[in-house]
Amino acid sequence: MRAFAEAGWYGKDKRWWLLWPLLAPLTLLFIALARVSKWRTQAHSKPLAKPVLVVGNITVGGTGKTPLMVSLVKGLQARGWNPGIVSRGYGARPDAFPYRVTLDSPVFEAGDEPLMLARATGVPLVIDPDRRRAAVQLCEETRCDVILSDDGLQHYRLWRDAEICVLDAGRGIGNGWRLPFGPLRESARRLSQVDWVVLNGTPAQDLTGVKDRAPLQSMQVVPTALVNLATGETRSLSALAEGQWQAICGIGNPGRFFDSLGALDCRFHAEVFADHHAFAPADFSGLNPALPVVMTEKDAVKCRAFAKAHWWYLAIEAQVDSAWLDAVSDRLRNAR
C-alpha cells in the first residue's frame, strides 16, 4: 500500500485519483486537526536561552535531512559554535525522557537516527517527544551555545530562531496535497515561512510551488567510502563494482540508496524493509551467506551487534556551499 501511495503522490500511478472520494474527507480532517494542534502548541512557545535552528521537512519519507544535520554541526563548529542536538527519538524506548544519547547507548534506547547523529558528530544530543524539554536540558546541563532540532518543523511548542526545510529535489512536493491523499504534512505555503529550502539532489521537474516561496540552497549527498560493520575497516567505493552484492535498506526513501549503488556500478539484489525497521538476525536468514552485504549507515547502527565479517555500510556526506554555512551562522548570531 505504501508503494502504491507513493506512486500516486508523485504522479507515477494515475489510478490513485480513483481514491479521491474516499481520501478527500480524511485529508480535510487531517488539515483541521493539524491547524488545531499548531494553534494550541504555538501559543505556549517561548524563546530559549540559546538560539534554535530547526531542520525538517513538509513531506513524509526520507529527504536527506540527517546528513545535512551532520554537515551543519561541523560547519557551525568550524565557525566557532558549540552545537547540541535535540530529536524526537522515533522508535526509542529509554526508561524515561528526556534521554541523553551517548556513543555507547543501546540502539533500542536511543533510536537509530539519534545514535547515528551522536556518533557522527560527537556533540551533546537529547531525545524527547517534547523537544522543548530536551532543549531546556541541553541549555542547562551542557556548554552548547546553539541547538539544532533534528526534524520538528511541525513541533511548534519548540521556539525556533531559524528554519530549514529539506526537500528531495527529484520528488518535490508531489501532487501538492496534504496527507493522506498527498505526501505533505503541511501546505506548500509553509515554505514561504522558512528561512531556506534545501534541495537534495538535481531537480527532476520545474518544482512549481517551491522555487518562488523561499531562498533555495542546493545540496548533494555523495558516497565517500565503504565501512565494515564488524571491524570499522574502510574500503574504496570501487569495491562495489566487484562481484555481486546484497543490498539491505530500511529508510524512508530506499530508491535513493539503490540509485547510489547503481551509479557506482554495483550489481546487487535488493531487500527492502520499513523505515526504522528494528533489524534482527532472522531478517538476514534468507540471504546468501557467501555474498557481501551493503546497507545504509542508519541501518548499520541496528545491525552492528550481530554483524558478519562481510557486512558493510555506505558512508555518505552532504555537500553544501560554504558561503551558505556562513549565512546560517550569521543568522543565528543575529537572532538575539
Torsional class of 265: left (φ above 0), alpha (ψ -120 to 50), beta (otherwise): left
Strand 196-200 vs strand 216-228: parallel, antiparallel, or unpaired? parallel
63 marked as part of a ligand binding site:
yes
pTM: 0.95
| 218-233: average pLDDT | 98
| 298-318: average pLDDT | 97
Please tell me the predicted confidence (pLDDT) of residue 110.
97
CA 11 from centre of chain: 23
Contact 229, 235 (CB under 8 A): no
Torsional class of 100: left (φ above 0), alpha (ψ -120 to 50), beta (otherwise): beta
66 marked as part of a ligand binding site:
yes
Percent of the chain with pLDDT over 70: 99
> Could you report the per-residue pLDDT of 120-143, keeping only the tens digit for each?
999 999 999 999 999 999 999 999
14 marked as part of a ligand binding site:
no
Q: How confident is the model at residue 23 (pLDDT cuts 50, 70, 90)?
A: very high
> Of 3.30.300.180, 3.40.50.300, 3.30.479.30, 3.30.420.40, which CATH number belongs to 41-219+319-333?
3.40.50.300
122 marked as part of a ligand binding site:
no
Please tell me the predicted confidence (pLDDT) of residue 208.
67
65 marked as part of a ligand binding site:
yes
| 244-268: average pLDDT | 96
Contact 231, 325 (CB under 8 A): no
On average, the pLDDT of the chain sits at: 95
> Could you report the per-residue pLDDT of 89-98, keeping only the tens digit for each?
998 999 999 9
64 marked as part of a ligand binding site:
yes
Which grid cell is 135? 532543549
Judged against a pLDDT cut of 90, whether residue 85 lies above it is answered with yes
Distance CA(324)–CA(336), nearest Å, equals 20
182 marked as part of a ligand binding site:
no
Q: How many CB atoms lie within 10 A of CB 206?
A: 9
> Could you report the per-residue pLDDT of 56-84, keeping only the tens digit for each?
999 998 899 999 999 999 999 999 999 99
Q: Check residues 206 and 243 and name the one with the higher pLDDT.
A: 243
Judged against a pLDDT cut of 70, whether residue 259 lies above it is answered with yes
27 marked as part of a ligand binding site:
no
